[in-house]
Amino acid sequence: MSQLLQTSIEYLKGVGPKRGELLKKGLNIHTFGDLMTHYPFRYVDKTKFYSISELHPDLPYIQIVGEFVHIETIGSARQKRLSATFKDETGRIQVVWFKGIKFLGSTVRVGIKYVLYGKVNAFNNSLSIVHPELETLVEYKNNIQSTLQAVYTSTEKLNNAGLATKNIVKLQKNLFTQLIGKIPENLSIDIIDQYKLLSREKALIQLHFPKNTEILKRAIFRLKFEELFFVQLELLKLKLINTNKNRGFAFSSIGDFFNHFYENNLAFDLTNAQKRVLKEIRKDMATGRQMNRLLQGDVGSGKTVVGLMSMLMAMDNGFQACLMAPTEILAQQHYASLNEMLEGMPVKISLLTGSVKIKDRRIIHTELESGELHILVGTHALLEDKVKFKNLGLCVIDEQHRFGVAQRAKLWKKNENGVPHILVMTATPIPRTLAMTLYGDLDVSVIDELPPGRKPIETIHWFENKRERLWGVLREQIKLGRQVYIVYPLIDESEKMDYANLQAGFDHVLNKFPRPEYQVSIVHGQMTNENKEMEMQRFVKGETQIMVATTVIEVGVNVPNASLMVIESAERFGLSQLHQLRGRVGRGAEQSYCYLMTGYKLSDDGKLRMKTMTETNDGFQIAEVDLKLRGPGDLSGTQQSGVPVNLKLTNLAKDGQLIEIARNAARDILGKDSNLQLPEHQSILAFAREQQRGKTNWSRIS
């Protein structure tokens, strides 16, 4: 990277030490390069003016031209504000400032033409503009160089220090005056020509100072392409390293463990999707290179069986296996499930979680090291240094988004003679664009078929006025011998409970379903593991007909007899969570139902979520809608892949096509020159190294 771009921001004209410190703390702008890539978040059409008579609160940010007819300071202490009346030929509007009063009071003048830019608010049946940006009409005419003006994120503290959008625009001008002709290109000429891209320098100039909307689109496309290209380059490079350098174990034979299970213990026929995925896994593990595979499958698609049969392949080749889950409840469920499926087979399985007693831990450690223990199921406790295997060959990781790359790497080190194969599983369908960006270093298998006999869950959305009808539906299902979940939301993502809501709901259910005719369980996140387990086991055994719970059951027990899910205040849940909860029922052969109960006031997003849930059971379709509604967020943490995903412009929900284009471009480059040694690829290598500070060391890749 150009030395100039690494210059400390305080040395830029118009900044200095004090403002420099504010930019560092407020916007994470430390260098010239940071300011260069501090992108606008929207643009204002500087040719568009409104008259005051046209204004209303639903308008976006607006520009008006006129003059002040009255300015005064009102109130005192915290109530102090600068109030002004602004007029044009069509009317008048109130303008208010709560900050910078002293400065504005001494500079703003009556009778001078100004351009105001801000958001119109309605208060007490009158319109006002609070804290507008302000410049004289003369300044405006002198400054305008384009029909579009960039608007930058700022903070109140920065605004008060003279670093509002218009000031940042000035700083960008000062910066680019120095940068012209000095911004290094980071793509090859071939890529620029092939995809008809603007040069990096031109794209950056046009992003900050666009001449028109057309060239702005081209600038954004170029810079989005660049973001995605380097993410994909790193992911594909990681994949190459895994393929070529990480010596795995060749599982060449299918033996007694696998065959006995398939012929005697498998209680149902595998779906074609399960068979296809098992073939992919077997092929991977036979190569002698480390497998790194992501297994996606909707709720109830049979991922656990595939994971178990993969572990049996490892055992047939003289290796041990482990299964790591994110919570104790889920680890316990897996442990119980594997024991049940392997009944009668000479397979030794143990469970290791934080609550296992020291005495029992020592036994597990000893049996692991001797090889007596075949499969270890557990939580993060598996990562402890004390946990040593004799010969670990396969790690199965459930709900991979709860574990980062560093944690996965710890498992790699559990075998001194090579790296174990990795199979990561998720019941959270990941939209393809997101999977390509976050998990592009993994091969992906998808189980896109439910076991035969499974009837789609019928989902119904009801408002509160149908509450009595709902109780009638519950009684009918219980009369048929079925069981029911009733789920209440949490206040937030923590374990803090909306106790009032849950307890009131529980009391109401007890009132409608009194003992001894009915038995009701309650489960929530703040119960002890023992009590939770006891209540869940009562439900599993059919001793209780209704389980009132929070989302703790999202990854809870499988109860084939449970045929009805009621989700209270369903509008407070995200789509993916609603889908996960719904997947708790529909495990048996009987028709299952999910009732979404909501209040009458639903946002547009809330309405779309309810509509999507009632129209489809397809988890991947639901995930796509969810991504569009919520955006990627930290989607399970964008750093989980180990790749620095810093997407300032790209929208993963909307830029799917561009992700594919960038991935193809990165694949072509690495196909020709896997180590980026050719002269034409030095600009790419230099930028990749710069981006990777502290990550993959490209200089050591050969």
At residue 104, the pLDDT reads 84
Farthest-apart Cα atoms in the chain, separation: 94
Q: How far apart are CA 305 and CA 277, in angstroms?
A: 11
Rounded to 5°, angle at Cα 45 from 43 and 47: 155
Token duo for residue 545: 């007909």
Q: Is the pLDDT of residue 64 over 70?
A: yes
Q: Side chain identity at 153, as an amino acid letter?
A: T
Token duo for residue 1: 């990277």
Q: Is the pLDDT of residue 266 over 80?
A: yes
Q: How far apart are CA 582 and CA 220, in angstroms?
A: 40
The secondary structure element, H or E, covering residue 587 is: none
Give the residue-averaged pLDDT of 628-634.
61
Q: List, for residues 279-297, the tens digit of each pLDDT value.
A: 999 999 998 888 888 898 8
At residue 584, the pLDDT reads 84
The region of weakest confidence among 158-172, 375-389, 497-511, 534-548 is: 497-511
At residue 438, the pLDDT reads 66
At residue 491, the pLDDT reads 41
The secondary structure element, H or E, covering residue 29 is: none
At residue 298, the pLDDT reads 79
Confidence label for 406 from pLDDT (cuts 50, 70 and 90): low
At residue 632, the pLDDT reads 55
At residue 42, the pLDDT reads 86
Residues in Cβ contact with 75 at an 8 Å cutoff, skipping those fewer than 6 apart: 81
Give the residue-averaged pLDDT of 412-429.
82
Confidence label for 641 from pLDDT (cuts 50, 70 and 90): very low
Give the residue among 34, 60, 63, 26 at the shortest CA–CA distance from 153.
26
At residue 699, the pLDDT reads 37
In the predicted model, what is the mean pLDDT of the chain?
A: 85
Q: Is the pLDDT of residue 247 over 70?
A: yes
The region of weakest confidence among 12-16, 164-168, 261-265 is: 164-168
At residue 271, the pLDDT reads 92
Confidence label for 693 from pLDDT (cuts 50, 70 and 90): low
Report the Cα 656 to chain-centroid distance in Å: 16
At residue 50, the pLDDT reads 93
Q: List, for residues 10-39, the tens digit of each pLDDT value.
A: 999 999 999 999 999 989 999 999 999 999
Higher pLDDT, 634 or 463: 463
Residue written as token pair 């594919």: 660
At residue 403, the pLDDT reads 57
At residue 404, the pLDDT reads 58
At residue 635, the pLDDT reads 39
Q: Contact 149/44 with Cβ under 8 angstroms?
A: yes
Give the residue among 595, 519, 520, 598 at the shortest CA–CA distance from 564.
595
Q: How far apart are CA 219 and CA 205, in angstroms?
A: 8
Tally of CB atoms within 10 A around 19 = 20
At residue 292, the pLDDT reads 85
Give the residue-averaged pLDDT of 245-256.
84
Confidence label for 612 from pLDDT (cuts 50, 70 and 90): very high
How long, in residues, is the chain?
Answer: 702
The region of weakest confidence among 82-91, 167-176, 357-366, 394-403 is: 394-403
Residues in Cβ contact with 575 at an 8 Å cutoff, skipping those fewer than 6 apart: 609, 612, 613, 622, 623, 625, 626, 629
**With 0-12 CB in 10 A as exposed, 13-18 as middle and 19+ as buried, what is 394?**
buried
Rounded to 5°, angle at Cα 301 from 296 and 303: 60
Confidence label for 638 from pLDDT (cuts 50, 70 and 90): very low
Confidence label for 362 from pLDDT (cuts 50, 70 and 90): very high
Cα distances (Å, whole numbers) of residue 358 to 47, 325, 386, 696? 73, 20, 12, 38
Give the residue among 376, 387, 380, 373 at the shortest CA–CA distance from 415.
387
Q: Is the pLDDT of residue 221 over 70?
A: yes
At residue 537, the pLDDT reads 81
Give the residue-averaged pLDDT of 507-519.
91
At residue 554, the pLDDT reads 60
Higher pLDDT, 440 or 254: 254
Q: Contact 488/498 with Cβ under 8 angstroms?
A: yes
Q: Is the pLDDT of residue 646 over 70?
A: no
Token duo for residue 169: 């625009």
Pick from 18-27, 442-451, 489-498 the range whose average pLDDT is largest: 18-27
Give the residue-averaged pLDDT of 384-412.
78
Q: Contact 134/143 with Cβ under 8 angstroms?
A: no
Give the residue-averaged pLDDT of 356-371.
93
**Packing angle of the helix pair 200-208, 165-179 (nearest 10 deg):** 160
Give the residue-averaged pLDDT of 566-574.
91
Give the residue among 497, 522, 495 at the shortest CA–CA distance from 508.
522
Share of residues in the chain with pLDDT > 70 (%): 89
Q: Side chain identity at 668, as an amino acid letter?
A: D
Cα distances (Å, whole numbers) of residue 569 to 16, 207, 459, 547, 566? 53, 43, 15, 17, 10
Q: List, for residues 323-352, the tens digit of each pLDDT value.
A: 998 878 788 889 988 999 999 999 999 999
At residue 505, the pLDDT reads 84
Confidence label for 696 from pLDDT (cuts 50, 70 and 90): very low
Higher pLDDT, 472 or 107: 472
Q: Contact 93/116 with Cβ under 8 angstroms?
A: no
